[in-house]
Structure formats: C-alpha cells, structure tokens
Amino acid sequence: MEIFPLTTERLILRRFTQHDLPAFSGYRNQPEVARYQSWSSFSAADASAFLEQQRELAFDADQTWFQIAVERKEDAVLAGDVAVHFFDGGRQAELGVTFDSSCQRQGYATEALSRVIGLLFDDLKKHRIVATVNARNASVVRLLEKQGFRREAHYRENIFFKGAWSDEYSFALLKHEWKAG
Ligand SMILES: CC(C)(COP(=O)(O)OP(=O)(O)OC[C@H]1O[C@@H](n2cnc3c(N)ncnc32)[C@H](O)[C@@H]1OP(=O)(O)O)[C@@H](O)C(=O)NCCC(=O)NCCS
C-alpha cells in the first residue's frame, strides 16, 4: 500500500517527481544548504540520476535511502526534503533533512520531521531513529534536540570533510522515549 501523500497543517509529504528537479537542484546548490552536506554543487544530470534511482524505490526497503519531498500547501513550492535510511533489517532508521534557505526558520522542518518520526514509530514500528550531523551544524542540532533526540556520541575529527578534519555528533531517539516525551 502506498503511504504517500501525507499531510500536516501546512505541508504535503510525497514522492519526488520530474517537476521537482529544478527546485531540488536549486536548493542543493545554495552554499548555505550544501555547507555541511556531502555535495558542493548539484547539476541537472545529478538531479535526473537522483530521480531515476528514487522512482523505483519502495518505502521502507532495508539498506536504502528514500527521499521524501516536502511541498508547501499554500503555493505548491518544494520546501525541502526528509531522507530516510532504513537499516538493521527494518528495525531502525536514520534521518537527514534539507530545506531551501527561503523555507528555513519558519517551523517547516520541525513540522515535516515530526510527521516522519510519527510514521516511523507508529506505523512502521521502528525501535530507534538516528542521525549523524556535523558538530558545527547548529540548526540541525537544534532541530533534532527539539524533537527529543539525545546526543549519544561526539566523534573528534572523524571525517575529512571539504578539505579539513571535522567533528560529528551522533543523535538517537528510541520509540519509548518519544512516546514519553
Ligand atoms: C537543518 C535545517 C533543516 C533546519 O531547518 P530550520 O529551518 O532551522 O527548522 P525550523 O524552521 O523547523 O525551526 C527553526 C526555527 O524556526 C522557528 N520557527 C518555528 N516556527 C516558526 C514560524 N512559524 N515562523 C518563524 N519561525 C518559526 C523555530 O522556533 C526555530 O527556532 P530555534 O531553532 O531558535 O528554536 C536547515 O537549517 C537546513 O536545511 N540546513 C541545510 C541542510 C543541512 O545542513 N541539513 C542537515 C544535514 S543532516
């Protein structure tokens, strides 16, 4: 059964389509969006390859990253995306989140993420959700902590990232912690 689209008060969470690609590569190319991400620039060819790979993907398939498009209801603008990595034979998931800079600081990322967390814990019965972030990426640290994620690790200079050694934090949230919170 297809899970998408899902809705929140201001957003629609759905699969990516061909129409999203200009906006998707647009925000991936914003320097402030790419700063702590694996890419530095994102071409039209990268965007097509991304869609090709996502098109066939089932949601909740072990060892895959599924990217959920987040559309603003009011004007159908692609605000950003929430990426979900399914691992541990279906028991756990990892999150990544990226929003267009013009759609940041308005609570959209919080709204989308909490819907995805609800989906993972309530509907898909995941036990634990994790996220690994650059320790300097203050906005994602705040976002995760507001959702109740605990910082479980601080890795010192564990990643050679964009020309320099960087620290990473590992965050986690258990289903029963989320229920309690
Ligand atoms: C990480 C990221 C998604 C966080 O998004 P965000 O836009 O800061 O998240 P939100 O809008 O949900 O919340 C941020 C702030 O907006 C505020 N806010 C909430 N609702 C609001 C509203 N209706 N109007 C204005 N501000 C609002 C919140 O209070 C919050 O402020 P605080 O952090 O000082 O408490 C975003 O910074 C991003 O895409 N960064 C680039 C990509 C990246 O590095 N991703 C992480 C890789 S894992």
Is 146 within the bounds of a domain? yes
Q: Does 113 sit in the ligand 1 pocket, CB within 6 Å? A: no
- Yes or no: say if 128 and 92 are a contact pair by the CB < 8 Å rule: yes
CATH number of the domain that residue 139 is part of: 3.40.630.30
Residue 22 lies in a domain: yes
Report if residue 50 sits inside a domain.
yes
Q: Tell me the H-state helices in 59-181.
A: 108-118, 138-146, 175-180
With contact defined as beta carbons under 8 Å apart, do 16 and 67 qualify? yes
Structural domains counted in the chain = 1
Q: What is the pLDDT of residue 70?
A: 98
Q: How far is the CA of 105 from the centre of ligand 1 (A)?
A: 4
Is there an atom of ligand 1 within 6 Å of 37 CB?
yes
pLDDT at 56: 85
Q: Is the CB of 98 under 6 A from ligand 1?
A: yes
Tell me how far apart the alpha carbons of residues 121 and 118 are, in angstroms, rounded to a whole number.
5
114 pocket-lining for ligand 1 (C-beta < 6 Å) = no
Closest CA to 120 of 169, 59, 71, 181: 59
The answer to the question of residue 144 being in a domain is yes
> Does the C-beta of 105 come closer than 6 Å to ligand 1?
yes
Q: Distance between CA 143 and CA 124 in Å, rounded?
A: 22
Query: Looking at the domain assignment, is residue 1 inside a domain?
Result: no
In a domain, 98, yes or no: yes
Element (H, E) at 25: helix 21-28
Q: Which domain holds residue 108?
A: 6-180
Q: Identify the pLDDT of residue 86.
A: 98
Atom in ligand 1 nearest the alpha carbon of residue 142: 33
The residues near 103 (Cβ < 8 Å, ≥ 6 apart) are 72, 77, 79, 80
Distance 129 CA to ligand 1 centre (A): 19
For the chain, list residues with pLDDT below 50. none
Span from the CA of 1 to the centroid of ligand 1 (angstroms): 32
The span from the CA of 102 to the CA of 32, in Å, is 11
